[in-house]
């Protein structure tokens, strides 16, 4: 291997300016992602705000419906992955390879592990909105379509997909949403002391 053949190396063996710039940019981006991790509600409010701005832009421009439809399908796929367990119980019925969800009342409790964690769901959904927003600046993506057909097809696809997902959830008895750790009540403290 000759000098300068590895990724980002210049002729003299030091990283090139462009490589260092994009490496530093990636580090800053990752730092912001790391800092935003604990603020779930704020992240989703920002994403909903971006989505609202995107919808206003599409409404005012009266175009880019196919991009909006593709964004909707992408978000539907992300949502289904978010609702699905990491290990599909239908594939694990006959084998004993690894953990699975309890299917009987007397089975051991196993926590619900998502196929797509919440943070990755938020990150992918936000990136999707930003990519769709960028697409609205290019006329090449403004394919003329009759948008009511796309809306009806999306609603139909959403209903069929969610019906199938809900049947799967009922069949294998899992609920993808929890409200924190269960709190067990002990005996109530009556406030009396045992003074003689």
Tokens describing residue 187: 């005996």
Nearest to 84 by CA among 159, 157, 158, 162: 162
> How much is the average pLDDT of 85-101?
66
Please say if the pLDDT value at position 140 is more than 50: yes
In a domain, 10, yes or no: no
In a domain, 164, yes or no: yes
Q: In this predicted structure, which of 18-22, 109-113, 188-192 has the lowest mean pLDDT?
A: 188-192
Range of the domain at 63: 18-90+112-172
Please name every residue paired with 114 in a beta bridge, in sequence order, or none if there are none.
85
What pLDDT does 95 receive? 54
Structure pTM?
0.74
Total of domains in the chain: 1
What pLDDT does 133 receive? 97
Q: pLDDT category, 100, cuts 50, 70, 90?
A: low
In a domain, 131, yes or no: yes
In a domain, 192, yes or no: no
In a domain, 77, yes or no: yes
In a domain, 24, yes or no: yes
Alpha helices by DSSP H, listed for the chain, are 17-36, 40-61, 65-83, 118-135, 147-171
* Rounded-to-integer distance, Cα 109 and Cα 115, Å: 18
In a domain, 182, yes or no: no
In a domain, 119, yes or no: yes
The model's pLDDT over 50-81, given as tens digits with 9 standing for 90+, comes to 999 999 999 999 999 999 999 999 999 999 99
């Amino acid at each position: 291997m000759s000098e300068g053949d590895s990724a980002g190396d210049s002729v003299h063996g030091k990283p090139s300016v462009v490589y260092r710039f994009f490496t530093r940019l990636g580090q800053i981006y990752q730092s912001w992602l790391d800092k935003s991790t604990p603020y779930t509600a704020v992240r989703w409010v920002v994403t909903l705000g971006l989505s609202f701005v995107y919808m206003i832009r599409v409404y005012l421009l009266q175009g880019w419906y196919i991009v909006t439809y593709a964004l909707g399908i992408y978000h539907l796929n992300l949502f289904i992955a978010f609702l699905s367990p990491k290990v599909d119980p239908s594939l694990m019925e006959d084998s004993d390879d690894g953990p699975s969800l309890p299917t009987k009342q007397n089975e051991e409790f196993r926590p619900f592990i998502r196929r797509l964690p919440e943070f990755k769901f938020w990150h992918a959904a936000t990136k999707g909105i930003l990519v769709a927003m960028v697409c609205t600046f290019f006329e090449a993506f403004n394919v003329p379509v009759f948008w009511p057909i796309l809306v009806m097809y999306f609603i139909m696809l959403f209903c069929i997909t969610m019906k199938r997902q809900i049947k799967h959830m009922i069949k294998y008895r899992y609920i993808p949403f929890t409200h924190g750790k269960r709190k067990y009540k002990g005996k109530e403290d009556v406030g009396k002391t045992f003074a003689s």
